[in-house]
């Protein structure tokens, strides 16, 4: 099964992988900036956006096989530059370990912590968010259309600068999260990515200083190879594409150059 993909631009390919509960639209603030220099392929991971969930037993290896097949469907048969955020960052790191990536730009990636060390605050945040959008979608959209409420509600899971996110984009958040049949299955797959210290390709990791969901224990720098670049940009939340579109685009382009 080839994953749904939004493709823009020309040049060397650059793959974008979104976070959990989201879709390729999470990259909307930066896609056109990236497409000025690269052929951008923003995929919907199975069970999110327009890509159906995996059938049968889900696994990381099956996700990687699906990514490989989807790249092949777009004529890409060699390692490619990949940028990912949160869950997409986890998949990006796993793709690097599996030899699918030529360079990596991971923004607030999961996978840098064993599952038994995940802080207790993460699951309740997702549980509350999912309950709200699934049971009260209209009210959720109405509340998120109010800038101060948007800033407060999105401060931890997305961005401390939620007022910068257009109301129509947050309406899309609600729809993506509400219609994400792959959420539970994929969430339960996320774990520490083993063997990253042996990866030799260029690898850049960025955790925003205002990322309040993947906190200290989730940022095990020691798991990475010694040459990996580590950044902590000011003003970036967990999903910083609306916080600093130009800064995120520059980070991705520099990291995958």
- C-alpha torsion 159→164→167→172, nearest 10: -40
How many structural domains compose the chain?
1
Q: Which of 183, 175, 94 is nearest to 133 (CA)?
A: 175
The kind and range of the H/E element at 203 are: strand 203-206
Contact 102, 14 (CB under 8 A): no
* Number of Cβ within a 10 Å radius of residue 66: 18
Tokens of 205: 């990791």
Position 115 scores a pLDDT of: 77
Cβ neighbours of residue 16 closer than 8 Å, sequence gap 6 or more:
24, 27, 31, 34, 40, 41, 42, 43, 82, 83, 84, 88
pLDDT string in tens for the chain (257-residue length): 799 999 999 999 999 999 999 999 999 999 999 999 999 999 999 999 999 999 999 999 999 999 999 999 999 999 999 999 999 999 999 999 999 999 999 999 999 988 777 888 899 999 999 999 999 999 999 999 999 999 999 999 999 888 889 999 999 999 999 999 999 999 999 999 999 999 999 999 999 999 999 998 899 999 999 999 999 999 999 999 999 999 999 999 999 99
CATH number at residue 135: 3.40.50.1820
Check residue 181 and give its pLDDT.
96
State the greatest distance between any 2 C-alpha atoms of the chain, in Å, as a whole number: 48
| Whether 211 contacts 235, CB under 8 Å | no
pLDDT given for residue 173 in this prediction = 95
Using CA atoms, how far residue 197 sits from 145, 217, 220, 222, 223, in Å, is: 44, 18, 12, 8, 6
**Dist CA 160 CA 164 (whole Å):** 9
Domain ranges, residue 160? 5-255
Question: What is the CB neighbour count within 10 angstroms for residue 72?
Answer: 11
- Residue 203 phi/psi, 5° resolution? -140, 125
Q: How many CB atoms lie within 10 A of CB 201?
A: 17
Q: In this structure, is the dihedral angle defined by the CA atoms of residues 55, 57, 63 and 64, taken in order, positive or negative? A: negative
Quick one: pLDDT at residue 216?
87
pLDDT recorded at residue 134 = 95
Nearest to 205 by CA among 106, 90, 113: 106
The Cα-based distances of 131 to 97, 127, 178, 209 in angstroms read 35, 6, 9, 28
């Amino acid at each position: 099964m080839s994953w749904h993909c939004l493709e823009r631009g020309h040049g060397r390919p650059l793959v974008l992988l979104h976070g959990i509960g989201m879709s390729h639209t999470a990259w909307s603030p930066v896609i056109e900036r990236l497409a000025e220099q690269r052929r951008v392929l923003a995929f919907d991971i199975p069970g999110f956006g327009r890509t159906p969930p995996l059938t049968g037993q889900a696994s990381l290896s099956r996700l990687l096989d699906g990514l490989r097949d989807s790249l092949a469907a777009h004529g890409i048969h060699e390692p490619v530059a990949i940028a990912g955020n949160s869950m997409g960052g986890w998949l990006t790191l796993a793709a690097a370990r599996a030899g699918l990536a030529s360079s990596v730009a991971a923004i607030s990636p999961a996978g840098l912590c064993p599952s038994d060390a995940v802080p207790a605050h993460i699951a309740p945040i997702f549980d509350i968010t999912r309950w709200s959008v699934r049971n009260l979608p209209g009210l959720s959209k109405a509340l998120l259309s109010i800038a101060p409420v948007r800033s407060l509600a999105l401060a931890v899971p997305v961005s401390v600068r939620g007022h910068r996110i257009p109301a129509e984009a947050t309406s899309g958040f609600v729809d993506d999260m509400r219609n994400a049949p792959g959420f539970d299955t994929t969430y339960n797959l996320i774990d520490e990515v083993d063997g990253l210290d042996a990866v030799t390709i260029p690898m850049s990791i960025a955790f925003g200083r205002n990322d309040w969901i993947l906190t200290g224990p989730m940022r095990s720098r020691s798991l990475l190879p010694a040459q990996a670049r580590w950044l902590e940009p000011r003003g970036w939340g967990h999903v910083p594409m609306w916080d600093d579109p130009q800064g995120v685009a520059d980070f991705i382009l520099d990291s995958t150059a």
